[in-house]
Amino acid sequence: MTKVVIMGEEIMSSVIGPTGPEQRRLANNVMKEALNRAGLPFKSISYVVATGYGRINVPFADKQITEITCHARGVASFFPDARTIIDIGGQDSKGIKINNGRPIDFVMNDKCAAGSGRFLEIIADTLGIKIEEMGELALQSKNPAVISNICTIFAEQEVVDKLAEGIPLKNLVAGILESLANRVSRMVKRLKIEREVILTGGVAKNAGMVQALSDKLGYPVSVPPEPLLTGAVGATLLGKEIAQKAKERDESPERKERSLKEIEIL
Amino acid sequence: MNEKNSDIFSRIESYYSDYGQRAKELKNEGKKIIGYVCSFIPLEIITAAGCVPFRMRGDIHEPITKGNINLETIACPFYRSCFDLSVKGRYDFLDGSIVAHACDSMARTYAVWKYTLDLPYSHFVNLPHTLSKSSMEFFNEELNTFRKSLGGFAGKEISDDDLAEAIGLYNENRDKVKALYELRKPDPPIISGTELTKILTVGASLPVAEANQLFDEVLEELGKRKESPLKKVRRIMIDGACVDNIELVKLIEDLGGNVVIDTLCNGTRDNLPHTDIGGDPVSALADRYLNKINCPRTYRENKEQDLHKDLESRFGDIGFYAREFKADGAILYVYKYCDPFGFEVPARKAYFDSIKLPLLYLEDEYSAGTIGQLKTRIQAFLEMLG
Amino acid sequence: MAEEKKKHKKRRTATEAAASIGPMVKEFISGTLRAKEEGRKVAFTFIVCLYDEILRAMDILPVWTENFAGICGAKRDAERFLERSESLGLSRSLCTYALCGIGFDQWREELGEMPPDAPWGGQVRPDMMLSSGQILCDPRNKWYQASQLYMPDVPVYNIDLPYPLYEDDVEFTDVRDYYVKHIIEELRGLVAFLEKQTGTKMDYDRLSETVDLGERTWNLIWETYDLRRAVPTPMGTGDAMNTMVPMCFMMGTQEAYDFFLGLNKELKEKVARKEGVVEDEKYRLLWGGGLPSWFALSDFNYFNSKGAVFPAETTYRMIESMYQIYMPDTNDPIERLAWRWFGYWVFWHNKARKRPGSHPDVEWLIQYIEDYKIDGIVMHEAFSCRTWHLGLIWQLNQLAKIYKPIPVLVLGKDGKKEKTNRELPSLVLESDIIDITTYSEVDTRNRIDAFIETLESVAKSKVH
Ligand code: SF4
Ligand code: SF4
């Protein structure tokens, strides 16, 4: 998903673009939409920061900063006391330890789908339910099924078998969320988690998942108002700092040649 | 080997990209080429036998395929890559290969290696794990067994004088490497990590005398660099096993860090320690390889039952180099399935912590396919260093 | 759910001896906990080090750390300890026994008491840890050093126990003297360390007795396992994964000797009654390598349900007939141990030299195939242990190349049937020793089914 946030004194507009590999090179379209909503021309934007996987695919960005740094900044702006961020996105998951809005350590899983939101998508598909329904369903379960396979493919098979055995759907879904929570917390524990813990990324909208993760960690995790946008918000804040610093020195920030075109590669 | 100095870097480039071209020539001249993978192979003995030691490399761009037929995927991916390339004929010019008892991935696959490649000569050097007096005596004998065995293959009795001469050549080689490392000390360094990795990699593919000459030419050429071609940015150390492809170092440098020092097998671990001269050459070699090469495969006893001293005795060289070369941050780079390094990750982390050097720990496969993943991590680490 | 329960039911063994192992292991664990309370010395150590007798003679109670991890695995309760190790920075690609052990120890140290619901009361805090940097296994060289980070006051003593690999131009007799000398020195170093730790001198008469007992036990086990040659075989590998307990954990004790006396008697009776592991024995298989998945031992019963039995295995055959191991004329028990170690590891060298293309590991398989009338080979590739699992595929490939015992008819060039020989069918299972997340029962049993079908069709095409 491509997200754009435009910030002046505060957020002026934000857009969450469509998903899919094809969309990756169309960051310019999402940008146009955001500009429209803010009622701004492109040239009035003084600085553009690109982040996330697609950060190299944004030809009109002035700087690329990793999602680690941007998330830290974004989350800290909502939760000044945050110490640990758990981000579960569509393609990866990560844990970030932060201090004063800056990352001090991090772990990532971008190697295997089973530790990311993709896992839920695939299983939802297999079960024939909508991914948005998973949270509610899981919360109704008192007896989550045990999903022992870690690999997505095996887990898919296991879910099918268990469904055939007559295990209720809600228990299965709860089991699936639990297994994702296990996997993610197993990774994040390498950081020696400190509170307060903030959950971001698309999965954070899933109430069942928030519950499962809180259960696993033994204390509640908090979710920002727009968990999908924290990275983008962080990027704008960092961009703003760069622009302001340049202004203080009476310079204009170092910028790239830019145009709002789609990129040629891919 | 007598083109002009100004061509030296293009020559290195060519030796690097067509790795083994000189060995092929030498083979055609009738020399015996002996392949090896690990820093524990006593090259002095191979050279003294009149053979040419050749460090086999992996290739992160080449997917491992044929190698999997006889070798399980649970072996170290770096070692598997070397094996895969050999099976595919990349090192067809080898007359023999030597394997050392470094790690399980090597020791437990010696037969696989020996029977599958079926080279005219092969030998396993059994290094002890401990550093007792008896271990040293044992290793001495083991080196003599190797000396006799290789001599038998080369048709030459290896004399003490032959050994002493080879030891001299290698000590010279290490002096030159040291001189190259000195060029990394200025900020910014005179030589980039990418360049140095290439130079050292190429050096390990040549007879030592030729490598010495090559290094001389490089040093002369670099002496002319009045200004560093590099920017003044964060200074990075790499700690780990063997990193014989430039991609990792280059990635760090492309992302805006200078790689200025390492504790890697094909870096300071192997290239700097000298062999003592004057005494019995075999004992001196035993001492160099067992005592002076600091690798986690060798057990260093925690004699005083003191955690801090133990870390210092095992990892003190890391701190020493980090200080000497003024590193701002370090990357601990370990291959999946590597037992010797893998078990030390918590202790190494604790050591880096104790010397207050920020650390990024990466576990990796040996494949160009993971570069994208490394990129985000390394960039974020550099951002963290500010 | 019913499925889950079924798995946890006690596994059926063929012999009563094997069935009696469970309480024995439990007693080890609680025994070490008791000993610790009574102030006796306990030492972490590894199996396959062949210095068990030294510990027994000094009244030091060994804690087999691999065993405890195996128990966690068998109880399907290893995951939380594995995860703990990972959170310390250890990769899941490393020996999962070690990860389980280190995770457990770190947790115990952090709490100052046993972790909650520790399997069988938990693994005791040791007085010392005895590593063994042999040419066998890196984790044995590194594991305790890694554990020491969490219990810095517990001393580690590491010894070298080398043996030579098979070479074309060097015979083991060429290097034997300095190998054995080194092993002896290392063992003496171990004794000195233990004397220092316990404050008592080694009683060498007592050590001679235990070494004697150990040697007699070796011969007894050899004779006992040899009874499994009978058709139908009275005992399979599934049982041997139980009877490895007295062999690998109790060497040098009267208890171990008595256990195998009992097993010997039981097997003889079964052979006399022609009572096999299964009623209708169809296929005799060799477990040709790999540690078992401790959480899935019931796979052996699944094989049995298809009429397949395992009269022999190379795994945990940590003994040979002492009559066939070269032993010089010496009464020094330390020397005897060293010669026994060396002799065990070069046991197959001479045989291998006689067959072109052979290798000791392959020769071992061939000998068992012939001795035990084997129809097929099964191996297990456990991802986390390089020690026992590297080289297995190659061994199968090399075996197939040089040894084709099954006469079959094939269509020749001229369209006529020709008699030729083919290799034994083989199956490689993939999972882990205790990491259950790598295991799929459905997948494993599908593979077993397919393998049984192969055995069937080979049996049919066999010409007599
Ligand atoms: S990287 Fe580790 S496992 Fe690989 S060859 Fe080197 S020591 Fe062995
Ligand atoms: S690596 Fe293998 S042999 Fe070594 S301790 Fe682990 S399971 Fe045992």
Using the 8-state DSSP alphabet, how is residue B38 labeled?
S
Domains of chain A: which residue ranges?
2-69+229-263, 81-217
Chain B residue with CA closest to A53: the answer is B376
Which residues contact residue B295 at a Cβ distance below 8 angstroms, ignoring those fewer than 6 apart?
Answer: B39, B40, B102, B265, B269, B340
More confident site: C186 or A26: C186
Angle (CA) C424-C427-C430 rounded to 5° is: 160
CA B327 – CA B237 distance, rounded (Å): 6
Grouped pLDDT means (10 residues each) for chain C, 464 residues: 44 90 88 93 92 94 95 93 93 96 98 96 96 86 96 95 96 97 97 97 97 97 98 97 95 96 97 96 97 95 97 96 94 97 96 96 98 97 95 97 92 84 95 90 92 94 82
Residue with the smallest CA separation from ligand 1 atom 4 is B76
CATH code given to domain B19-156: 3.40.50.11890
Q: Which CATH superfamily is domain A2-69+229-263 in?
A: ATPase, nucleotide binding domain (3.30.420.40)
d(CA B342, CA C92): 10
**What are the structure tokens assigned to A18, written together?**
């469509």
Q: Closest ligand to B83 CA?
A: 1
Q: How confident is the model at residue A115 (pLDDT cuts 50, 70, 90)?
A: confident
Residue B274 main-chain phi, psi, to 5 deg = -90, 165
**CB contact (8 A) between residue C167 and residue B297:** no
Quick one: which of A227, A202, A199 has its CA closest to A214? Answer: A199
pTM: 0.93
State the Cα–Cα distance between residues C85 and C147, nearest whole angstrom. 10
Give the highest mean pLDDT range of A103-112, A161-170, B217-226: B217-226
Query: Is residue C72 within 8 Å of residue C100, measured between CB atoms?
Result: yes
Res. B10 pLDDT band, cuts 50 70 90: very high
Q: Which CATH class is domain A81-217?
A: alpha beta
Per-residue pLDDT at C433: 95
Model confidence pLDDT, tens digit, residues C40-63: 999 999 998 888 999 999 999 999
Residues of B in contact with A67 (CB under 8 A): 376, 380
- Measure CB to CB from residue B383 to each of A65, A110, A111 and give the nearest one: A65
Model pLDDT, residue A256: 75
Which residue owns the Cα nearest ligand 2 atom 7? C385
Nearest to C89 among A146, A154, A190 (CB): A190
Of B64, B72, B81, B105, which is best to mutate to test ligand 1, by the most ligand atoms within 8 angstroms of its C-beta? B105
Tally the residues of chain C.
464
Compute the nearest-CA separation of B364 from chain C (Å).
Answer: 11
Angstrom distance (rounded) from CA C443 to CA A114: 19
Here the ipTM equals 0.95
Query: What's residue C310's pLDDT?
Result: 98
Average confidence (pLDDT) over B86-100: 97
C-alpha C190 to ligand 2 mean position (Å) = 21
What is the rounded CA–CA span in Å between residue A198 and residue A83?
Answer: 8
Q: Which atom of ligand 2 is nearest to the CA of C96?
A: 6
Atom 4 of ligand 2 has which residue's CA nearest to it? C137
CB pairs under 8 A between A and B: 30
* Average of per-residue pLDDT values in chain B: 95
B356's torsion region: left (phi>0), alpha (psi -120 to 50) or beta? Answer: left
pLDDT above 70: residue B131:
yes
DSSP letters, C409-448, are EEE-TTS-EEEEEEPPPEEEEEE-SS-GGG--HHHHHHHH
Mean pLDDT of A144-149: 82
Q: Which of B317, B322, B295 is nearest to B184 (CA)?
A: B322
